[in-house]
Amino acid sequence: MLGIQNHRLTGPDVSFRQTPNVGGAMRPRFVLLHYTAGRNLDSAVESLCTKKPQGNASSHLVLGRDGRIVQLAAFNAVTWHAGASQWNGIDGLNHHAIGVEMDNAGLLHLEGERYVSWFGKSYPEDEVHIAEHRHGGGLRPWHGFTEVQIARTLELCELLVAHYGLEDVLGHEDVARGRKVDPGPAFPLAAVRGRALGRGADVMPRLVVNATSLNIRSGPGAEYAKVAPALKRGAELVLLEPQDRWSLVAVVGGTDLEGWVCNDFVTRQAATRAGPGAAVLSRTQRAVPLARAAPRQAAAKKTARKTPAKSRGRG
């Protein structure tokens, strides 16, 4: 079982190696999840503990595919993992977020019949997740996360939220949109966020529609299709996945309706504690699955073309 003592993680398969790439003190407000886009746990740790002439990167934790965790800095120290970043009016997430790097090769590309990383390693089909990123880009192949890695990340996020009273669990893709895509669609970010915030803080964030009517769409933007008739003023929603301009929500009232709404037309309500008499929620809120998505379709290979690798630095 994981624990925290003096801003250090304790528990089985946890070790500590101090990185020289740190800033001053901070009071953490968020967890920020990344993938390493690297070969393995050891190479990621080595890179994040190396002092370079420029472009130094670091993180608080590195999480291996077998569940091992290496901590590189105390949780109340600034590390350099977010780069240029912004969330809900807050700039520079390095000064506000605990960085968690998950060992994962990230976005892959297809060479013949092989799925290959930017550094040339190929991966078997059972480790590949073909999906479209929630920010668009079409169907592409992504390196999958292991079940133990996902479960360990959830346990870690629940602990950090409870211990530090954190406000949210975010992905790098949330705070550096258009520049970063990690942890990507192979990782169940919405599920981990919902579980961690629900169990750690025992609250269910609620929104209410403040416009005469509000469209609910299939994706985070006005270009996406409507999934149902417009919501009426006063409709209550459960917040599943917040972003800067749009949020994924579930409609309260015994339906299974979920979709994206523009944040300009909803107001956040006071937190409602779960318990007897709580409103009926959608299937997503009753039980958020942590398993990886359905098996990949062979036809999707045709759309998986070689894609230039994103910058692997945290900036």
- Summarised one tens digit per residue, pLDDT across range 164-175 is 999 999 999 999
Query: Which pLDDT score, from 0 to 100, does residue 301 have?
Result: 52
For the domain with range 3-201, which CATH number is right: 3.40.80.10, 3.30.70.20, 1.10.1660.10, 3.40.50.300?
A: 3.40.80.10
Mean of the per-residue pLDDT values for the chain?
A: 84
Provide the residue ranges of all domains of the chain, joining segments of one domain with +: 3-201, 205-270
How large is the average pLDDT for residues 49-57? Answer: 91
pLDDT of 299 strictly over 80: no
Cα distance between residue 260 and residue 257, in whole Å: 10
What value does the mean pLDDT take over residues 248-258?
A: 76
Using alpha carbons, list the distances in angstroms from residue 200 to 185, 194, 195.
Answer: 24, 10, 8
Give residue-wise pLDDT tens across range 68-102: 999 999 999 999 999 999 998 899 999 999 999 99
Cα–Cα dist 100/96, whole Å? 13
d(CA 124, CA 139): 18
Q: Is this structure's pTM higher than 0.85?
A: no
CB atoms within 10 A of CB 138: 12
pLDDT above 60 (res 44): yes
**Do residues 237 and 249 touch, judged by C-beta distance below 8 A?**
yes
Alpha helices by DSSP H, the chain: 41-48, 147-164, 172-175, 189-201, 283-286
Give residue 291's pLDDT.
35
Residue 59 near residue 315 (C-beta atoms within 8 A):
no
Q: What's the rounded Cα separation, in Å, for the pair 260 and 239?
A: 10
Euclidean distance between CA atoms 297 and 293, whole angstroms: 11
| Residue 105 to residue 110: CA distance in whole angstroms | 14
Q: Is the pLDDT of residue 273 over 50?
A: no
Burial category of 222 from C-beta neighbours within 10 Å (exposed 0-12, middle 13-18, buried 19 and up): exposed
Q: Do 108 and 114 meet the contact criterion of CB atoms below 8 Å apart?
A: no
Name the DSSP letter for residue 260: E
Residue 200 has pLDDT above 60, yes or no: no
Helix (H, G, I), strand (E, B) or coil at 251: strand
So what CATH class is 205-270?
Answer: mainly beta
Sign of the Cα torsion 185, 86, 165, 1 reads positive
Counting beta carbons within 10 angstroms of the beta carbon of residue 254, is it exposed (0 to 12), middle (13 to 18) or buried (19 or more)? Answer: exposed
DSSP annotation of 126 reads G
Tokens of 111: 């060479």
Q: Which residues, in sequence order, are CB contacts of 116 under 8 Å at separation 6+?
A: 108, 109, 110, 122, 123
Residue 270 confidence class, pLDDT cut points 50, 70, 90: low
- According to the model, what pLDDT value does residue 254 have? 52
Q: How far is CA 103 from CA 57, 78, 161, 197, 306, in A?
A: 15, 21, 22, 23, 22
In sequence order, the β-bridge partners of residue 209 are 266
Whether the predicted pLDDT of 147 surpasses 70:
yes
Confidence (pLDDT) at 204:
60
